[in-house]
Amino acid sequence: MVVGAMLWLILGVATAQTAGAGIKGTAHDPGIWSFGFEQQVCVMCHAPHNTNTQGPLWNRAANNTNYTLYASSTMNASAGQPGSVSKLCLSCHDGTVGILDYGGATGGMTLAEANSCTNPLGCSSVLGTNLSNDHPVGITYDAALATADKGLNDPSTKTVTIGSTVSKSGTIATTLLSSGKVECSSCHDVHNIYTVAGSTGTSKGLVKVGMAGSSL
């Protein structure tokens, strides 16, 4: 119970990190969690040997969950299951895999259990397996979709700059999409490199583009 409460504090509330400073000190850094058992930042997700091929040197179990997808009569794209990049994120954020289940370990506390969800701040990072109320991922975003939608920019020509302290520019297709699709990584940088600074110099939600004026 105490561990769960403290994990809620770290994962649910401490969401402001210095933009562009790397993963150290963010909510993805196990070293800042209250019990401080793991000081190796990368090992929670990555390992040099004997890893899962679902992700780059992935040190966690494969995520084979099927999700309930977003649907809308106004959406011109065909929604599919989240791609492999998004499933890496969801392996923790859908609340089904233990936060400490890495390197072959199983049965650890999940993100859903660590967050009481009695406070909106506490459950905001737990999406569950029902994604029908979340921005769709796993959708192909190309010139054809932009033409059909009439409200989207052509991703092959529209340029965007991601990050603030550390930044790079390119088209939507080259800087935000994963194999031509919108995925979790289209908006978020889990390693806190190409993230934007907020009004106090911090990055909330590890987003790549600022939210002011609906820029993202």
- Walk along the chain (216 residues) in steps of 10 and give the mean pLDDT of each run: 36 55 83 65 89 89 91 88 94 84 77 54 72 93 95 95 94 96 95 82 76 70
Beta carbons within 8 Å of 63's beta carbon, 6+ residues apart: 54, 87, 88, 90, 91, 94, 97
Predicted local distance difference test score (pLDDT) of residue 172 = 96
pLDDT, tens only, 97-150: 887 788 887 767 777 666 555 433 345 678 889 999 999 999 999 999 999 999
Predicted local distance difference test score (pLDDT) of residue 34 = 58
Predicted local distance difference test score (pLDDT) of residue 1 = 35
Average pLDDT of the chain? Answer: 81
DSSP 67: -
Instruction: Please state the φ and ψ torsions of residue 47, each to the nearest 5 degrees.
Output: -150, 155
* Number of C-beta neighbours around residue 92 at 10 A: 24
Read off the tokens for 180.
């031509």
Predicted local distance difference test score (pLDDT) of residue 54 = 84
